[in-house]
Amino acid sequence: MKSKTLALTILVFLVLVSLVQILYYYPRLPYRVASHFGFNGKPDGWSSREIFLIMNIALVVFMGGLFWLSGWLPRKLPDSWINLPHKDYWLAPERRNATFETYAIYLYWFGNATLLLFLFLFNSVYRANLMSHPEFGQDVLIYFGLYILFIIYWTVKFYREFRVRPENDTTSFGRRS
């Protein structure tokens, strides 16, 4: 989790790939699409393919925009609205800019993982709808499992990054000596 530019570039790339995926599968989908699946992998919700397309695009664009804003918006919010461990220390004037840069990188990577999950889940939905009897495979469980592992890793790394450091700490921000 080093570069803000890399994380943001990947975020934009994932939004674009998701939109291309939608446009690729749209003409191949049946007019009535299985849009929701139960725990048993069988469809339990249906929609027209047009509504499914609109909802899919809206979700990808909304989530991409939300995570893009999450790297910029916290700078504009009152400190009381920011959820950050030891925020009195990290939002002190001498650390504020570096804190928000690191915070943005973490949020962009979280957004990347979420958009990647959506990309794989929607791919599973599209593939299921191309079958004569739509059904989810076991791959969906793997996607959710990997996402949960990422969230655990991300949370531990985030809290380690923002633990309180001694006042005489001279290491650069985000680096451990």
Beta-bridge partners for 33: 47
Cα–Cα distance, 170 to 85 (Å, whole number) = 20
How large is the angle between the packed helices 4-25 and 49-70, nearest 10 degrees?
180
SS3 track for the chain:
CCCHHHHHHHHHHHHHHHHHHHHHHHHHCCCEEEEEECCCCCEEEEEEHHHHHHHHHHHHHHHHHHHHHHCCHHHHCCHHHCCCCCHHHHCCCCCHHHHHHHHHHHHHHHHHHHHHHHHHHHHHHHHHHCCCCCCCCCHHHHHHHHHHHHHHHHHHHHHHHCCCCCCCCCCCCCCCC
Please count the other Cβ atoms lying within 10 Å of the Cβ belonging to residue 51.
12
pLDDT tens across the length of the chain (177 residues): 458 899 999 999 999 999 999 999 999 999 999 988 888 888 888 999 999 999 999 999 999 999 999 888 988 999 889 888 888 889 999 989 999 999 899 999 999 999 999 999 999 999 999 988 888 878 888 999 999 999 999 999 998 988 876 565 554 454 443
Q: Pull the structure tokens for residue 152.
A: 């655990």
